[in-house]
């Protein structure tokens, strides 16, 4: 088995369940710009990718409209959505066990870094991360690949030392772009069961216990 030194974690659908706040903020942003309300299918697809990607690809907005919707969403998320999430059962214990086993852990999420850090602090995750990376309000790190690249830079890690752990195809796609292996967990917000296979990650695990059994021998 390849020996990894760094484990990079996505946040939404990987360490936390965050859909109540995300859904509410999408509704709010779309209403504010006079767009039609989102469907249940559209909302589920929006957990994982960047906001700009979601507004452009799932709602058909042009770049300018998507940027306006993104700003409205983020303002509302900072007021309400950031509080509407909960840790996935076993997430903190997983981080503790991997840290104890000698792995260096980092967060690599498409959620704005300010909010991701607030959530990680509240649930006790931050104590186990050597680096925490999310997208910037200024448009920096707009893709999953760019977030992963920055997380590796901050952690001082090379691609061959890392395993990216996530729950969506975007995690696998971003990892592949950066030459990083990826493990998808079947506990999050995948569009369907087929998404895991189509994403073609190096590994697919049912949940935390399988991941931990794989990494800790």
Each residue's pLDDT tens digit, 69-91: 999 999 999 999 999 999 999 99
Alpha helices in 33-168 (DSSP H): 40-45, 51-57, 63-79, 91-100, 113-122, 144-155
CATH class of the domain comprising 6-17+86-215:
alpha beta
Identify the pLDDT of residue 1.
Answer: 57
User: Quick one: pLDDT at residue 215?
Assistant: 97
Q: Which sign, positive or negative, has the C-alpha torsion 190, 195, 201, 206? A: positive
pLDDT of amino acid 217: 84
Q: Is 74 helix (H, G, I), strand (E, B) or coil?
A: helix
Contact 85, 123 (CB under 8 A): no
Q: Which residue has the tokens 């509410």?
A: 24
Provide the token pair at 34: 């006079």
On whether the CB atoms of residues 88 and 17 are closer than 8 A, the answer is: yes
The pLDDT of residue 48 is 81
Question: What DSSP designation does 82 have?
Answer: G
DSSP string, 28-49: HHHHHTTPPPPPHHHHHHTSSS
- 58 backbone φψ class: left, alpha, beta (φ>0; ψ -120 to 50): alpha
Cα three-residue angle 58-60-61, rounded to 5 degrees: 115
10 is catalytic: yes
Parse the chain into domains and list their residue ranges: 6-17+86-215, 19-83
Query: Which of 123, 122, 124, 144 shows the shortest CA–CA distance to 133?
Result: 144
Low-confidence spans in the chain with pLDDT less than 50: none
Q: 19-83: what fold?
A: DNA polymerase; domain 1 (1.10.150)
> What pLDDT score was predicted for residue 97?
98
């Amino acid at each position: 088995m390849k020996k990894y030194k760094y484990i990079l974690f996505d946040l939404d659908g990987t360490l936390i369940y965050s859909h109540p706040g995300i859904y509410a903020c999408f509704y709010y942003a779309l209403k504010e710009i006079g767009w039609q309300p989102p469907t249940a299918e559209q909302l589920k697809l929006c957990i994982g990718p960047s906001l700009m990607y979601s507004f452009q690809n799932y709602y058909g907005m042009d770049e300018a409209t998507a940027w306006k919707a993104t700003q409205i969403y983020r303002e509302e998320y900072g007021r309400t959505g950031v509080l509407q999430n909960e840790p996935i059962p076993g997430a903190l214990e997983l981080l503790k066990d991997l840290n104890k086993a000698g792995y260096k852990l980092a967060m690599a999420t498409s959620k704005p870094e300010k909010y991701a850090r607030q959530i990680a602090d509240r649930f006790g995750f931050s104590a186990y991360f050597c680096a925490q990376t999310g997208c910037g309000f200024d448009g920096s790190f707009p893709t999953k690949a760019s977030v992963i690249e920055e997380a590796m830079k901050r952690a001082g890690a090379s691609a061959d030392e890392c395993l990216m752990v996530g729950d969506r195809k975007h995690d696998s796609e971003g990892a592949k772009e950066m030459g990083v292996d990826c493990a998808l967990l079947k506990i999050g917000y995948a569009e369907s069961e087929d998404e895991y296979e189509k994403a073609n990650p190096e590994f697919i695990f049912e949940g935390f216990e399988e991941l931990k059994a794989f990494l800790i021998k």
